[in-house]
Amino acid sequence: MSITIRKFEHSDKEPVRNLLVHTESFTEAEVDVAIELVDLFLNNPNQKDYDLYTAVEGNEVLGYICIGPTPLTEGTYDLYWIAVSPVTQGKGVGKQLIKYAEETVKINNGRLLVAETSSQPKYQKTCDFYVSAGYEILSRIKEYYKVGDDLLVYGKYL
């Protein structure tokens, strides 16, 4: 598998929307929020809030990642979104995307990359992915999203 990671392009929007829907990990509202960030990124090329990158093989979009500096911090970045096509999950695409994001953060004098997720069982693969990429739980806020659904904050010091 020969993967290229590049800056997100307009033509990536629909493949990414389809990828988000087909992972079956995200609600319709979550997909809408992800696409809202895509639109902000694409429609405001000079904005500094988000950077989006796409993993592609040829013309096929395999995954994407969205990162950005955390407002009012020095060197802290948020990993807002990372998603990989269900047919390529487990083949290293996510690891390549997160590694690329980490390198990008370091180039921009970042020191910490933070990712938030849910404690719901359907996000266990996500939690396992973060741990396998060297992230640790920095905090847990009980019943953050709703009763029985905690916020898990993973982070990695770079």
Judge residue 150's burial from the number of C-beta atoms within 10 Å of its C-beta, 0-12 exposed, 13-18 middle, 19 or more buried. middle
- Give me the pLDDT at residue 24, please: 84
Q: Count up the domains in the chain and report the number.
A: 1
Tell me the two tokens of residue 86: 């269900």
User: 22 near 85, Cβ under 8 Å?
Assistant: yes
Its sign, for the CA torsion 142, 144, 148, 151, is negative
120 lies in which domain range? 4-157
Read off the pLDDT of residues 102-128 as tens digits, 9 standing for 90 and up.
999 999 999 999 999 999 998 999 999
Give the domain CATH number at 58: 3.40.630.30
pTM of the model: 0.94
Instruction: Phi first, then psi: give them for residue 72, nearest 5 degrees.
Output: 65, 20
> What residue ranges of the chain have pLDDT lower than 50?
none
